């Protein structure tokens, strides 16, 4: 048997891609004070080819490996400058060939604080700077040691992100962000394991990671259409050896390209639809996955008394 990575996808989805472009932790959109945006989302990703180290290959004993994610995500405006975001995903994995059973379960809860430090208008443009802090925590005792069919990595993460948004003529935008992700060690149901050396412990040292994200396109109150470039780089870790299974502390890198949209109903502006797709164009120790996703969001105004005292800040 030999397997691959996929789980990272799940992790990546949590950390970066999220559902397209609706007030997530990776875009420049803020919820106004006391507004609560929440909704269900779904994503499907699959891959047939993967990178074993730098070598691209397929595995007939896995066929196509797919991951479905059902999630509830939300964003609450503590103030116009500070938002709290969460994501609760349920993940289902499956391999189309071979004998290994797919896995499913509640994966990792992620929480983010998003703070807009600068929001400066200059002529026709506006520049905004954001700082984000957050992390993720496994919500169930799922088994992380059967990649690529595990639903997650069991690592607790903490992350910090700096994000810059440039907005022109109230229509065109570009957003760039850089993220550092700390990943805690993970304990496996093992007595020992081999990375690039033999380790007599059940604890696995998890390398940290960085992520870069650039997105640009058209953005108004009613419609967003954007292209996204995302890179995830694990700082350390080791390559999958030939014909080996992937391991949670592999060096997992991926660069993906994608596009997203968001549509807001004019007759019911609280309601919006988002959707998107992305494809991995380069990677290491990861599946070359194609991902599609969609979500429905509804914004509740919890601002009972002082309604309309502040305008949406977009």
Interacting residues toward other proteins by CB under 8 A: 1-2, 60-61, 79-82, 97-102, 113, 115, 133, 141, 143, 145-146, 158, 160, 180, 182, 184-185, 188-194, 197-201, 203-206, 208, 241-245, 247
To other proteins, the closest distance from the beta carbon of 144 in angstroms equals 10
To other proteins, the closest distance from the beta carbon of 209 in angstroms equals 12
To other proteins, the closest distance from the beta carbon of 118 in angstroms equals 11
Contacts of 305 (CB under 8 A, 6+ apart): none
Contacts of 105 (CB under 8 A, 6+ apart): 90, 91, 140, 142, 151
The residue (of 4 and 278) whose beta carbon lies closer to other proteins is: 4
The residue (of 146 and 228) whose beta carbon lies closer to other proteins is: 146
Say if CB 134 and CB 112 are below 8 A apart.
yes
- Phi/psi for 309 (5° steps) reads -80, -15
To other proteins, the closest distance from the beta carbon of 203 in angstroms equals 5
* Helix (H), strand (E) at residue 10: helix 7-12
* DSSP conformational letter for 7: H
The residue (of 205 and 279) whose beta carbon lies closer to other proteins is: 205
To other proteins, the closest distance from the beta carbon of 17 in angstroms equals 23
The residue (of 141 and 311) whose beta carbon lies closer to other proteins is: 141
The residue (of 160 and 225) whose beta carbon lies closer to other proteins is: 160
- Three-class DSSP category at 11: helix
d(CA 150, CA 103): 6
């Amino acid at each position: 048997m030999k397997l691959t990575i996929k789980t990272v996808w799940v992790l990546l989805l949590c950390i970066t891609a999220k559902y397209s472009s609706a007030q997530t932790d990776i875009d420049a959109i803020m919820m106004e004070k006391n507004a609560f945006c929440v909704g269900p989302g779904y994503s499907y990703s699959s891959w047939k080819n993967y990178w074993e180290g730098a070598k691209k290959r397929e595995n007939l004993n896995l066929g196509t490996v797919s991951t479905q994610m059902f999630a509830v995500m939300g964003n609450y405006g503590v103030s116009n400058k500070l938002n709290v975001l969460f994501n609760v995903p349920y993940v289902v994995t499956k391999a189309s060939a071979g004998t290994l059973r797919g896995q499913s379960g509640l994966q990792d809860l992620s929480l983010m604080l998003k703070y807009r430090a600068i929001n400066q208008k200059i002529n026709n443009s506006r520049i905004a700077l954001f700082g984000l802090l957050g992390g993720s925590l496994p919500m169930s005792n799922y088994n992380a040691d059967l990649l690529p069919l595990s639903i997650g990595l069991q690592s607790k993460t903490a992350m910090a992100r700096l994000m810059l948004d440039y907005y022109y003529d109230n229509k065109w935008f570009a957003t760039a962000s850089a993220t550092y992700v700390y990943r805690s060690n993970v304990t496996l149901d093992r007595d020992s394991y081999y990375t690039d050396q033999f380790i007599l412990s059940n604890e696995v040292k998890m390398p940290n990671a960085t992520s870069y994200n650039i997105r640009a396109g058209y953005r108004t109150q009613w419609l967003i259409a954007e292209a996204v470039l995302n890179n995830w780089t694990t700082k350390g870790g080791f390559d999958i050896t030939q014909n080996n299974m992937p391991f949670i502390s592999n060096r997992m890198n991926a660069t993906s390209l994608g596009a997203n949209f968001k549509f807001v109903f004019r007759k019911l502006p609280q309601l919006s639809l988002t959707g998107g797709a992305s494809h991995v164009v380069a990677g290491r120790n990861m599946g070359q996955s194609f991902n599609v996703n969609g979500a429905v969001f509804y914004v509740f105004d919890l601002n009972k008394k002082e309604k309309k005292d502040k305008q949406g800040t977009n």
